[in-house]
Structures are given as C-alpha cells and as structure tokens.
Chains A and B, each alone.
Chain A
Amino acid sequence: MTTAQPLLQVFGVSKTFDVPRRIGAPPGKVHALDDVTLDIAIGETLGLVGESGCGKSTAGRAFLRLIEPDTGEVWFDGENLTTAIPSRMRTLRKRLQIIFQDPYSSLNPRQKVADMLAEVLSVHKVCPRAEFPRRIAQLLDEVGLPASAADRFPHEFSGGQRQRLGIARALSVGPDLIVADEAVSALDVSIQAQILDLLRRLKAERNLSYLFITHDLGVVRYFCQRAAVMYLGRIVETGPVKDLLDEPLHPYTRMLRAASPVPNPVEARKTVQVTGEVPSPLNPPTGCHFHPRCPLAKDICKQARPTVTEMGGGRAVACHLYG
C-alpha cells in the first residue's frame, strides 16, 4: 500500500497546553502531543487509536493546523504546512478536510444546507455560480441525501443525516485527505455501518486518504489498513491493523485489545488483565508513561522513555521490551 511519497508526513510534532489555575490544583502544562511522528500514504486509511485524553483529537487538529503545533513539522504532498503562509494555507485547506464526532455541533444552526455548501463553493471558486444548484444536488446525492435536503436547516435532520451533511461539506472542496475525528462514535450501530459504508465508497471513488481517529478497535479493524496507538500524547505502536490487533506488541495495545468487548460470550468472559486508569496528563509518569499499569514493567521503564523500534513488516513499537 505504501508508495514512495507519503501524502502526509508528520515529524516530531509536540503541543502543550497551559492549564488554568483552579482552586485546589496547581497550574500546569499538559503535553497533549509529545513528539508524534507518522505518515499516511496516498489512498491509505490510518487509524489513530487511544482512550479519552490520549491526544488523538489534538493530533488530528494539529496536523491540519487548526491548532498550531509547538514544535515539529507537518508535510503534505511535499509541502511544509507548518511554515505555509496564511494565504497559501487557505488554498491548501481545499485538500485537507475534517469531519467531526458530534453531528449536532458540527453544523451552523443558522445556515441552510444549500447556503452552507454554496458558501464553500463560492469561497474557493469551485465552479461558476450558475452551476451551484446542480453541484449541490450532486454533493448531496453523493452522500445519499435527496436534493430536497438543500433548503433545510441542520436541526431538521437526524444524527446520521447530519453526519452525511458534514461529509458533503468536506467533499465540496475536493479533498485528498480527510481527518475523521470519531466520526461514527456518536451513532447507533445500524447508522454507524451506513456511514462507514459511505466513507468507504467515497474513498474508492475519489481516491481519498483518511486519518481515522477513534477509540473503537472494532471500527479500526473494519475500516483501516494501518493503525497508530496513542497513550498520553505519545504513539506507542504502529503497524498493519490485522497484525496489530491479532498480535499486539506493546503491553498497552494488548490491554486495549483485551478490554475491547467482543460479541462472543465465551471470549468476553475470559478474565482479562486490565488494571489501573490513565494517569493525569498534568503529571504523567516518568520514563514510559505506561509503566505504572504495565504487567511487564522493568526498572528501566521508570527512568527512560523508550525509543521506537522497527519490528519489520511495517510494525514499530516504543517499548523497552523490544529495545
């Protein structure tokens, strides 16, 4: 799947947030992203997996420069996004889009669907104004909505339909890469399957690449070719999805896999070794962030941050067990 030139390359991106002082808590900094490096090939779907607060959402936004990274570089199709001037960035944005989790907050409640799409088309001069209605109907049809949806307001749609509208908006500029930030997490399973199918079809038809951010390993297995697992702002393991889920290398990936519910009463009842909770990102553990919960932790895990070890077969893991 990998080609010579990845579509998106991320090198050592870090981002810290200042946490405002609260009564009873010291002020502090949260390392939302800590030296994140990854790439996405043309036509590839990379899953970015982790539990809440691991920084996966921040990562997606930092790669699109919706949040400015502190350090590191993001390259898109041979161009450094991190140093792009605002006008160039706005042009590049046509090729980089995002869809969101919450179908209720991702659409402007005061804009009709037609106005929403027409605005995008006119800002980017995608086509002459006279063609807008046809183009809008085309976009709606592409995401499985009737043309009559155009003169309605977002609140008139169900959650799944609103998610389709968010996808239509992203498609309107003809992107190459779409960041899907928990795009199916808020939906019921039957609707979730519809949206996943839609995203898959669009990928084939438009040769899209996705950065698919999710907490659901089942969705990753179905939808992604490769996955990166995040824990407290760091990527701990990357690899092809099947290998990563069937034989996880990093102890955290193993724990995540073991804890993921399986619709099989025999498997699901096996006692799993899952302990502890994600520590506060304000005060992360030393060395390997995972060591307090790790059943295999050694002394070195408390002291040194593990480096990334290439394991062959496109797999890589940041763990002292393999160093």
Chain B
Amino acid sequence: MSAAPETLAIRPPAVWLRFARALWRTATANAAMMTGIALFLAVVIVAIGAPVFAEVDPLDQDLLARLVPPSPGHWLGTDAFGRDIWARIAYGARISLVIGLVAVGIAMVIGSALGILSGYMGGWVDQAISQATNILLAFPSLILGLMVVAFLGPSVPNLIAAISLATIPQFIRVSRAPTIALRERDFIQACRALGFSPLRIMVRHILPNIWPEILVMGSLWLATAIRVEASLAFIGLGVKPPTPTWGGMIREGFEQILNSVYLALFPSLAILVVVLALNMIGDGLRDALDPRLKESKR
C-alpha cells in the first residue's frame, strides 16, 4: 500500500554558500560596496601597521617644525607641537577602531540577547525591556554617551561603556521584531513541542535566522560609534591627550585653524572615509540580504 517516495530534487548549494555567493555578487556588482570594503580594509591595515606606515612616533615633538604644511618629510604636515599628523592619524585610527569595534561588539551581543529574549518571552519581560529601550532611544546617542562619560570620567573603558549603552537599544530593536515574527513560525512551535528549552530555541533556532539583519545593523552603527567617539573627544570628553585621537586632533586643529587648515582637515577626512566606507558596506549588505530573505520565505 505504501508508495515509493518522490524522487529527490536536484540539489542546490547550501544556504551559507548561497549567502556568500549573493554577498560576493552584490559586492562585485555594487561598486559602492567594493569601495567601502577596500577603504575600510585600508584603514584597518593602517591602524594595525601604524609603526610601519609612520616612521615617526606620534608623540615626538619637533619644535623646529611646527605647523608645517604637507611636505616630503611630513606627508600631512605637523601640528602646533611639531608632531607628525600622518603618524597621529595612523595611531588615532587604533583608538577609533578599538573603541568602535569593542563598543559595538558588546552592544551587539547584549542588545541582540535582550531583543531576542524580549521578543521570544513576551509578557512582562518584553514590557520591561521594551520600556527601557524606549527610554534609552529617547536620548540621542551622543547625549547619552556624554552623560555617561561625564559621570564616570573619560577613559577607554568608560568610552566603550558609554557608546555601548547608547547603541544597545538599536540592537534590541533590530532583533526583537524578527524574533516576534519567527516565534509564530511552525518550526519554532515544533521546537517547543519537542521540549527544547527556551534558551536553546533562542540561541540555536532564532539567532541563526536573524543574525544577517544584526550584522547589517552592526556595520551601520560602527560608523555611528566612531563618529560619537570623535565627537566626545572633540568636546574634551575623549581619551586624554597626548594620546592621539581623531576627535582630539580636530579639536586641536580648530584652535589653530587660522594658522593651518591641515590640522583639522586630515583627521576630519579620516572620519569621513571610515563612516562612508561603513555605510557603503552596510547598504551593500542589506541589498545582498534582501533577495535572500525573499527566497527563503517562499
């Protein structure tokens, strides 16, 4: 009585492979995303290899060569103390990237965890987390960061804490909504019926289905985090001088703006490049993601 099963369909490639291909296709078809990746990689390489790329120490003062314009000895000129701007930008990239990456990394982990928890558990857990999120979202991230740093004092860990706190609500929001949609899907109900613990369902079944969205959000908020860090440094709440930071350099450059425009110009350009690159990557990621999502919904 039992019939032979249907024959197996021709096998398309695995999900991750299709995703990687879609990414690559989008990246190659999308010149903006390629440019973004290239620019960001360049900044990362400069930051990591700062001692190689800049022969001069960023703290070395050369009082005989103050406010020098770009020249063969000092590619980007020097500042009011005769410190090499290129060296300071290269080393400053380390501070910007470390603070940005660590802060956004922490926010991504905590934020998505809370967002998934909130969306999956519902009820009072959701109420509490959502209310807290709404309150945090009411403050612009810069103001929030400002308050935290003003309260704790400026230091790298405190800056990271401040920027994380400002970014966490964004990740809560971006992970909660898709979790709610997934919670009603049959395969999640099947997991519950199989007696899987809520933790397992959230980590093993919901997270893998929403991480691409979180990743897009991460790249966009990394840009914001770097901007916020620079803004805090600009108003004097960043890492203490003489450690080079892009925001601090712009601030110093502003004081000398009548004597030399390069001091403010080059670190500003550095920030512009990084923010632009990350936004290009984020947009590209989102484009790569959209058709894939449509396909899996079929």
Contact = CB atoms under 8 A, between A and B. Distances in A.
A106 B1 CA distance: 27
Contacts of A193: 3
A282 interface: no
Given A157-B8, A158-B6, A106 B187 contact: yes
Contact of B208 (A106, A110, A161): A110
Contacts of A89: 195
Contacts of B2: 144, 194, 197-198, 201
B180 to A, nearest CB: 13
Interface in B1-40: 1-6, 8-9, 11-12, 14-15
A105 B3 contact: no
Contacts of A78: none
B11 A106 contact: no
A110 B6 contact: no
Nearest to B198: A86
Nearest to B296: A109
A66 B194 CA distance: 11
B190 A166 contact: yes
A212 to B, nearest CB: 16
Nearest to A90: B195
A149 B6 CA distance: 12
A110 B18 CA distance: 12
B190 A169 contact: yes
Given A144-B2, A145-B5, A105 B186 contact: yes
Interface string A71-106: 000000000000000000111111011101110111
A156 B9 contact: yes
Listed residue (B190, B205, B208) with the most chain A CB atoms within 10 angstroms of its CB = B190
A108 B205 contact: yes
B5 A164 contact: yes
Nearest to B298: A104
Interface residues of B, number: 30
Given A109-B296, A110-B15, A197 B5 contact: no
A123 B15 contact: no
A202 B70 CA distance: 81
B116 to A, nearest CB: 15
B193 A153 contact: no
Given A109-B209, A110-B208, A155 B193 contact: no
Given A107-B187, A109-B15, A123 B3 contact: no
Given A108-B205, A191-B6, A124 B12 contact: no
Contact of B204 (A93, A102, A119): A119
Given A105-B187, A160-B6, A153 B14 contact: yes
B155 interface: no
- Which one of A91, A104, A193, A200 has the highest number of Cβ atoms from chain B below 10 Å of its Cβ? A104
A123 B8 contact: no
Given A93-B195, A144-B2, A198-B2, A155 B187 contact: no
B212 to A, nearest CB: 10
Contacts of B186: 100-102, 105-106
A90 B193 contact: no
Given A153-B14, A161-B9, 9 more contacts: A90-B196, A92-B195, A97-B194, A105-B186, A109-B15, A111-B208, A155-B15, A156-B12, A197-B2
| A-B residue pairs, 6 tightest by C-beta | A93-B195, A90-B195, A106-B186, A144-B5, A100-B186, A110-B208
